Amino acid sequence: MAVPWRWTLVALLLAVVFATYPYSDRALFTWRAFVPEPLMARLHNLSRFVQLLTLTRSLQDPARIPTYTETTGHSKPLLTTPVWWFAPFFSGGGYSSEAVAFVSALHNLPEVSRGQLWISQHGDAIDWDAVQGLDADTRAVLRSLAQNHQPWQPGKRIVVCHSEPGAWALPKPLYETSLCPPPSTPDQQTYTIARTMFETDRLSAEHVRRCNAMDEVWVPTAFHKQVFASSGVAESKLVVVPEPVETAFFDPGKHTPLSLPLGRRVFGWERDTRQPAPFVFLSVFKWERRKGWDVLLQAYLQAFTASDNVELLLLTKPFHGKRNFAQQMLRWAANLTTSDLDQAQTGIYTDQSALPRVYVISEHISSQDLPRLYRSADAFVLPSRGEGWGRPHVEAMSMGLPVIATNWSGPTAFLDREVGYPLKIGGLERITEPGAFYGHQWASPSVQHLTHLLRHVRQNADEARNKGVAARQRMVARYAPAIVARQVVKELVRVQKQMQ
């Protein structure tokens, strides 16, 4: 059905409004109920175009992107089929950083045909602070890739939907976001790849249906392959592709430590400057029960007293909640009963003079200072109940830190006793909190074993440092962006051959 020019003009005006409105995807989603579908498609495309113009201005960088020949000296790349990668590139967070690392590495490989890698924002709203926080080189790469895409180009194309399954247009997203897979024309052949993960022991029936509607599904670990398959996703569709870590950026040799202490002191007395520097444990996480902050505090306060000269530094941010982290920790401590504690430690939470120091940082730490924060610590610890991958874990390992982490879900792919300290679990526990995970199960990290590991790492600092060195070597050898990108290219070339 032809769209009258007047409607086209209206669509253009609305596209400008929606593209500059912070929740443009939500607006587009709402308007689908009132606007004819042909016009809606044009409105959606025009809105994306205007958003691209806005992003181009915010990503502008004087440095010119080198040509393919200048960069590689090659003229016959292996991957020549267009790859259109949809992800929350400009939103910040786990999926965002993973997607940026993937496409930045692919962009630099000689195996990938220049101009045939396209990106589009998908799965979340644009966070302009996250955009401005990107380094100049990354901004330049993303700007180039965002300008590449030619959605109506006929022929073959590979589409990657890099988000949680609810965002996929199968047949429509469960919330307001761009359409991935995108609409196709009769002269286009599209192969759809999902990149996703989950933190519990199962998928919902709707997520299984959406995964099975894709041509294949890329998951980060063998753990996820087993969970997805046992939930009902066809095993033939599942491909394990790990997540890259920016080993060149998270390099301990390139950064100096931040000056400690940082943040608000919640437990313990002020540091005595006459004492030697304390042994610092660091944890980085969103403030939610899944991350096991309660397990960490209980084990840490059982493991040490004020005389042990240790500190626990928590870098956190809210997850659909308030920023009053210190008050929540104090309230949690006050509600513990003696049955929760070792007998020798009973009652210590009411005596600040007996407690080891705990600091919480709720202020924003810039991406440039994050490696310096890792550099300030002696060990990293995160007893989470479930992880999709474990981005802070691999960042810490890349920075040469020994890592204590739950031996379940995502981290099992890269953490073992050769390079860190896997934390035992006491089985799985049912999730009773309302939300997407309700009724699922996740790990129950052992407080007793974590208490032992914290003491062991503190008392065996040389051993811990050696494991940190081995951890960095593993990150560089297995998970550096170029290493993972070549695995991605291998899978994409396989798909390209299947499409011939």
pLDDT tens digits for 197-230? 999 999 999 999 999 999 999 999 999 999 999 9
H/E element holding 190?
Answer: strand 188-195
Q: What is d(CA 155, CA 82) in angstroms, rounded to the nearest whole number?
A: 9
Residues of the chain with pLDDT under 50: 1, 3, 16-35, 52, 56, 58, 61-72, 343-346
Beta-bridge mates of residue 403: 380
Contact 42, 11 (CB under 8 A): yes
Closest listed residue to residue 85, CA positions, set 395, 497, 485, 498: 485
The pair of structure tokens assigned to 404 is 């204590």
What's this model's pTM, rounded to 2 decimal places?
0.84
> Three-state DSSP class for 149?
coil
Q: Which pLDDT score is estimated for 9? A: 57
Which residue matches tokens 């059982």?
302
Which helix H or strand E contains 7, and what residues bound it? helix 5-20
Which residues fall within 8 angstroms of residue 466, CB to CB, at 6 or more apart?
none
- Confirm if 395 and 373 have CB atoms less than 8 A apart: no
pLDDT at site 40: 52
Question: What tokens were used for 18?
Answer: 């929606």
